[in-house]
Amino acid sequence: MFLSVFDMFKVGVGPSSSHTMGPMVAAARFLDKMRAAPFACAGVHGTLHGSLAFTGVGHATDRATILGLAGFLPETYDHEKAEATLEEIRATHTVSPPGLPVLAFNPKEDLVFDFGPNLPGHANGMILRATDSQGDVILQETYYSIGGGFVMTEAELAAGRNTDEGDPVPYPFKTAAEMLDMAERSGKTIAEMKRANEISRNGQVHLTSGVKRIWQVMNDCIERGMTTDGILPGGLNVKRRAKGIHDALVAERGTNLNAPHKINDWMSVYAMAVNEENAAGGQVVTAPTNGAAGVVPAVIRYWLDHVPGANEAQVEDFLLTAAAIGGLVKWNASISGAEAGCQAEVGSAAAMGAAGLAAVLGGTPTQIENAAEIALEHHLGMTCDPVKGLVQVPCIERNGLGAIKAVSAASLALRGDGTHLVPLDACIETMRQTGVDMSEKYKETSLGGLAVNVPNC
């Protein structure tokens, strides 16, 4: 099994990897399909199903799909250009994707939210269709956004492409047990094994430059979030708080009144800064999803700013270790809130952050695995119940608490020798089973939990 560090950490746009980035990617893939088709396409339309319908407006799924059909991609997203393009599409009822003729598309009529039963493959389903000049459908594809910005067609999902192992790598492991056994036999750390796998696919230069960019985007996101205030979009009138908290923490430096627990505020503010940026539709990095994008950057920033001896040169080891753990969770369970609740998003992110921190603090592979297990175990059963379908309440604060849990889990694991009762594999399987048993109304549909008990207007 191989999932690249760049699969787990993708530069994209908020507020959701599965509901915003995924549909944009799916639309881009459909444009490629149209370009390759022997037909003369004159129009395009689509339907959003399951969670994409129920929380689509709050997650900007319609906006992302429209922009995707106009040729936008998450990794090169330009907010000002997107706004201008949307205005043009609304005025002309057309989209003009590169390499295709101008296509008829009225956003109000040609993108439908279908609140009926889910499509069979996944809770996040969408169908895109191209029409000829007579309005007849000449091309159609079903896409599933399976979490973390990953997109599969109906045929790819049915063929098991989401479990495709790809070309061989030097250190293939599908479970934590295999990972630990391989580390013991090779004498390598988890980061060293992951690095060897990455280099075997794409080379050292790609790895080094790519990881550097990932951290730069993460850190820039923290900085923007800590210096920007105002009200988040979407109608809940949620006020940005990261800037105010950060300003207060800076003002309190050097006083004799700082309680030890104030370090939790620093961890929280780093995470909240990212997730406020995400909620505003800014550039973020999936870690492993947008809804959980603040946890890993917050733990890294906490380590760099507050832990003696921290060195930015080790960020690559942190992210490689975190990606190894995230890959195990995705492979054996899920990182999709629509599939398994928030345990699959913030829970997975906390496990990744705990593992990465344990690694750069000198933890052994068994201590790192223990750190990931502790963090994930104490998110089991967490539902995904966003108020009004927005990635704001409870998501923003939840990332702060996820970062605190990650640091605590790493610290606890490093106090032991790696011996523990519950293996990470058992915890991941428990998360999967819990997700299967969880009521659909608690899986990113806004039909239960806080979403129905908090006034959202």
What is the chain's pLDDT, residue by residue, as a tens digit (457 residues)?
A: 789 999 999 999 999 999 999 999 999 999 999 999 999 999 999 999 999 999 999 899 999 999 999 999 999 999 899 999 999 999 999 999 999 999 999 999 999 999 999 999 999 999 999 999 999 999 999 999 999 999 999 999 999 877 666 789 999 999 999 999 999 999 999 999 999 999 999 999 999 999 999 999 999 999 999 999 999 999 999 999 999 999 999 999 888 778 999 999 999 999 999 999 999 999 999 999 999 999 999 999 999 999 999 999 999 999 999 999 999 999 999 999 999 999 999 999 999 999 999 999 999 999 999 999 999 999 999 999 999 999 999 999 999 999 999 999 999 999 999 999 999 999 999 999 999 999 999 999 999 999 999 976 5
Residue 161, pLDDT score: 76
Residue 208, pLDDT score: 97
Please work out, in degrees rounded to the nearest 5, the angle formed at the alpha carbon of residue 290 by the alpha carbons of 269 and 30.
Answer: 160
Residue 25, pLDDT score: 97
Number of C-alpha atoms within 13 angstroms, CB side, residue 251? 6
Please check whether residue 288 is in contact with residue 148, taking contact to mean a CB–CB distance below 8 angstroms: yes
Please check whether residue 10 is in contact with residue 75, taking contact to mean a CB–CB distance below 8 angstroms: yes
CA dihedral over 416, 328, 445, 273, signed as positive or negative: positive
Residue 255, pLDDT score: 81
Residues 6+ apart with CB under 8 A from 310: 303, 304, 360
Q: What is the DSSP letter of 215?
A: H
Tell me, yes or no, if the pTM score tops 0.75. Answer: yes
C-alpha distances (whole Å) from 395 to each of 181, 260, 313, 339, 346 are 36, 26, 30, 17, 9
Long-range pairs of 93-102 with CB within 8 A, sequence gap ≥ 24: 95/44, 95/66, 95/69, 95/70, 96/70, 96/71, 97/31, 97/69, 97/70, 97/71, 98/71, 99/31, 99/35, 100/31, 100/34, 100/35, 100/41, 101/40, 101/41, 101/42
